[in-house]
Amino acid sequence: MTVSTGARLHFGFANLSPAHERLYGSVGVALEDPRVTVSASRASSISCPDELDSHVRRAVARLDVPGAHVAAVETLPRHVGLGSGTATALAVFAAVARAYGRDPGVRAHAPHLGRGRRSGVGVAAFEGGGFVLDAGRPTAACDPGRSEPESWTVPPVIARRAIPDDWRFVLVVPAADPGRSGDAEAASMRATIADAIPTVATRIADLVTRRVLPAIESGDVAAFGAAIAAIGRLNGTWYADEQGGVYRPPVETIVRTLADDAVVAGAGQSSWGPAAYGVTTAADADAALDAGDRALERAGLDGTVRIVGARNRGAARRDPDPSAIDRRGGLR
């Protein structure tokens, strides 16, 4: 069984202040590329590359199966802000489950795989793609210091929209220090939540409901890009003390260079970075690539620049029986 899914952009959270009834509420979009693709088959023990070992062991334990042989066909860069951990964990789990004839049910199992505690965008992107807004979690039930799977569920999706076919994202991944993860990320989130200004959440809510969602429905790429960029900047005011500014160094130079280009509708930092993005269109793809190259040059960094489309479908699976392929491309 082979399972493939794309990266995701995380534009930010709807709220990080305990003064409001719900905490988190992530905003993001699924991408077609880059992708993680894994293949799995039944086995009596665990056989896989080192980088997949922890994911395979969790999947085998959770499914209570004897083992699995898992191979990495395509991989996502780790800790750059593209959701590699969640995408890989869910792809591995789904592939192993399908190899044993099981329905993956990734949303229910994600907490036990260590995924989806704060942001539900990665799980939602895997399930159905598109632009996603999740509901976050009741503030009273959140304890940033806890991580037991039994204490939380993945935040539910409250809005999902298909991104217009001609919209594109210029994705710039500089050769810079990785973004925060694990204990370091948890500590930064605790500090950020403790000092988060409540009124920022009100401004983000207005942007999502009055600008982002209407822009997707009307196909207004300029309005969408401007609104998403504004959400990123507002999130950056929450994170400024933890990451060294509204955008983490050296991402600020990249974001501002992209934003200044006429073919880029809006730019920002994905999650903790260092990945940056700009919103553009298929017609302006070549010019947007040039803008990405200039952004890296101005920042004095090597890196990769690519134009990617949104993925308006969930993870895809392929197994030896052609009649079993989900022709809609979705994997639940």
- For the segment 44-60, what is each residue's pLDDT rounded down to a tens digit? 999 999 999 999 999 99
Q: Is residue 314 part of a domain?
A: no
Tell me if the pTM is above 0.85. Answer: yes
Full domain range(s) for residue 255: 164-309
Q: How many residues does this entry show for the chain?
A: 332
| 196-206: average pLDDT | 97
For 211, the 3-state DSSP assignment is helix
Give me the pLDDT at residue 321, please.
Answer: 46
Q: Give the type of residue at 50.
A: D
* Mean pLDDT of all residues belonging to the chain: 93
Give me the pLDDT at residue 27, please.
Answer: 98
For 81, the 3-state DSSP assignment is coil
Percentage with pLDDT > 90 across the chain? 87
- We report the CATH number of the domain holding residue 264 as 3.30.70.890
Q: Give the type of residue at 310.
A: A
Give me the pLDDT at residue 320, please.
Answer: 52
Does one domain contain both 217 and 276? yes
- Is a pLDDT exceeding 90 seen at residue 90? yes
Does one domain contain both 223 and 114? no
- Helices within the chain (DSSP H only): 53-63, 84-99, 106-109, 121-128, 182-195, 198-207, 213-218, 221-243, 251-259, 285-299
Give me the pLDDT at residue 48, please.
Answer: 98
Most confident of 77-81, 180-184, 307-311: 307-311
pLDDT band at 328 (very low <50, low <70, confident <90, very high): very low
Does one domain contain both 277 and 153? no
Q: Is residue 290 part of a domain?
A: yes
Percentage with pLDDT > 70 across the chain? 93
